[in-house]
Amino acid sequence: MTALSELMDYDEVIEKFDPVLGLEVHVELHTNTKMFCGCANVFGGEPNTNTCPTCLGMPGALPVVNATAIESAIRIGLALNCEIAEWCRFARKNYFYPDMPKNFQTSQYDEPIAFNGWLDVTLDDGEILRVEIERAHMEEDTGKSLHVGGATGRIHGAEHSLLDYNRAGVPLIEIVTKMVPGTGRRAPEVARAYVTALRDLLKALDVSDVRMDQGSLRCDANVSLSPKTTGELGTRTETKNVNSLRSVERAVRFEMTRQAAVLESGGKVIQETRHFDESSGSTSSGRTKETAEDYRYFPEPDLVPIAPSREWVEELRGTLPELPWERRKRIQQEWNLTDEALRDLVNAGAMDLIAATVDAGAKPDEARSWWVSYLTQQANTRGVELADLPITPAQVAQVITLVNSGSLTNKMAREVVTGVLEGEGEPDEVVEKRGLKVVSDDSALEAAVDEALAAQPDVAQKIRDGKVQAAGAIVGAVMKATKGQADAARVREIVIARCS
């Protein structure tokens, strides 16, 4: 564990060094079956139940490529503005590890299915940074090792290990950026924003669950520092086990401060894999890669080359959904938002919710008003993210419809929403249970108005004399008498009619 005293102050790091980023993201596809066999691809499950001779690496068993995985890989490549290979092969990456059944990973090496693309990433202040993509390639996931008895849960010091091969052979796409230089102080933010943008993109493509907490989206962050004095590229480290967006940012920042301290003290950064620890926010040394490991890649002889026809690629291009940034642009125009207003909505996590509310029938302004005011207050009060409030955009839209039809006043609508948040059921049910109904029967209102006029004859006289603003006192009395369930505008109309 690196002590805090061995870290350089962040401002000083930026003064002396230029950070260079490189991000490798592994995405588990949510295909029905695994990459090379017919076993179910599901998260969880009793250990070693979703296995067969192929994904267990039994002697004689052979792989067969999952066509849906290829389709997803091409769609991801297209969405990342990549070129799609006209012909490519799988390759074997050879190394021994107990959770890898064949002791080689079927992957792609010098012939990735997609290459040379880019992804536009929106930073917190709205600035757009283009991150260049080197490649996106297909491979299979490994099994999982559970190391029992050690202090750290890692293989060193463990008493024994348990192996679960349910994950072995799950389709993975590895997306690798080119070097990202010149981000300076914002390097940690850029790393987080890139993974966020990629996650949103993959979600829109509906190819993966993109759950960092479940490992269906995993990020390895490569960081090196280039001294400003020389401009030479530094030695990089690769930090693994970065399981949340926030951790991506923290891990990059930690590595920058750690490496800077090492370099400042005259030391050398060791090229190695490092392990991010969520609780301390620090990284620690894993495998040392003093000599680059020789994986002895060669073309996988058990599989035939993949040659996606250009017609198929174009057909898949046609299936690309509206991509997140295109959608944002469209919504900004449709809702007539300033850049700043859009950014606030995006940062507050409200945009998708508002859009979904609009899709469910509400007008953009109405939807926006609910989510940014009352619901945001409720989220703050409860200490949860907006998206985690127990109300759906469809339910919000229903409430808005009830208001527009005159069935609810705004005040009553807030009460209905509160009821939904408290688990009282659908908006209709809350209306029913809480007895919330606008009194819209004119005869009932007329009686109430007459009663109020009779109770305040001087006010009634003023209205008759043409002082229309005095009507407010009568309206207030009627609203009080009907316990707020009357439509105030309609009451006012009746008061004036009665006095003219």
Partner 1 sequence: MIRQTAAELAAKIHRGETTSVEVTQAHLDRIAETDGKLNAFLHVDTEGALAQARKVDEDVAAGRTPASPLAGVPLALKDVLTQEGIPTTAGSKILEGWRPPYDATVTRKLKEAGIVILGKTNMDEFAMGSSTENSAYGPTANPWDLTRIPGGSGGGSSAALAAHQAPLAIGTDTGGSIRQPGAVTGTVGVKPTYGTVSRYGLIAFSSSLDQAGPCARTVLDAALLHEVIGGYDPMDSTSINAPLPPVVAATREGAQGDLSGVRVGVVTQFSGEGYQPGVLRSFEAAVSQLKELGAEIVEISCPSFDYALPAYYLIAPSEASSNLARFDAMRYGLRVGDDGNRSTEEVMSLTREAGFGPEVKRRIMIGTYALSAGYYDAYYGSAQKVRTLITREFEQAFTKVDVLVSPTTPTTAFKIGERTNDPVAMYKADLCTIPSNLAGNCGLSVPSGLSDEDGMPVGLQIMAPALQDHRMYRVAAAYEAARGPIGGASL
Contacts 24+ apart (CB under 8 A), 354-361: 354/393, 355/327, 355/331, 356/392, 356/393, 356/394, 357/393, 357/394, 357/396, 357/397, 357/400, 359/393, 360/393, 360/394, 360/396, 360/397, 360/398, 361/397, 361/400, 361/401
Q: From the CB of residue 317, how many other CB atoms can be counted at a distance below 10 Å? A: 13
Query: Which of 104, 276, 335, 370 contacts partner 1 by CB under 8 A?
Result: 104
Q: Is-contact 379 392, C-beta < 8 A?
A: no
CB nearer partner 1, residue 267 or residue 305: 305
Handedness of CA 112, 114, 116, 121 (dihedral sign): negative
Contacting range for partner 1; rule: CB under 8 A; set: 242-250, 295-303, 387-395, 471-479: 295-303
- Rounded to a whole number of angstroms, the distance between the first and last alpha carbons of the chain is 85
Contacting range for partner 1; rule: CB under 8 A; set: 97-105, 385-393, 407-415, 453-461: 97-105
Query: Which of 101, 117, 171, 234 contacts partner 1 by CB under 8 A?
Result: 101
Q: Rounded CA gap, 153 and 161, in Å?
A: 10
Applying CB under 8 A, does 144 fall inside the site for partner 1?
no
Applying CB under 8 A, does 110 fall inside the site for partner 1?
no
- In total, the chain counts a number of residues equal to 500
Query: Which of 62, 67, 384, 444 contacts partner 1 by CB under 8 A?
Result: 62
CB nearer partner 1, residue 56 or residue 496: 56
CB nearer partner 1, residue 94 or residue 392: 94
Q: Rounded CA gap, 108 and 202, in Å?
A: 20
Query: Which of 34, 75, 102, 192 contacts partner 1 by CB under 8 A?
Result: 102
> Residue for token digits 């536009």?
120
Query: Which of 2, 47, 65, 286 contacts partner 1 by CB under 8 A?
Result: 65
Query: Which of 204, 233, 303, 496 contacts partner 1 by CB under 8 A?
Result: 303
Applying CB under 8 A, does 163 fall inside the site for partner 1?
yes
Query: Which of 130, 228, 296, 437 contacts partner 1 by CB under 8 A?
Result: 296
Residues 221-240 close enough to bind partner 1 by CB under 8 A? none
Applying CB under 8 A, does 92 fall inside the site for partner 1?
yes
What's the Cα-to-Cα distance from 332 to each of 54, 158, 324, rounded to whole Å?
49, 54, 12
CB nearer partner 1, residue 35 or residue 421: 35
Q: From the CB of residue 9, how many other CB atoms can be counted at a distance below 10 Å? A: 11
Q: What is the 8-class DSSP label of residue 320?
A: P
Applying CB under 8 A, does 87 fall inside the site for partner 1?
no
Applying CB under 8 A, does 64 fall inside the site for partner 1?
yes
Largest CA distance in the chain: 101
Applying CB under 8 A, does 427 fall inside the site for partner 1?
no
Query: Which of 32, 45, 53, 433 contacts partner 1 by CB under 8 A?
Result: 53
Interface ranges with partner 1 (CB under 8 A): 53, 56-65, 92, 94, 96, 98, 101-104, 155, 161, 163, 294, 296-298, 301-304
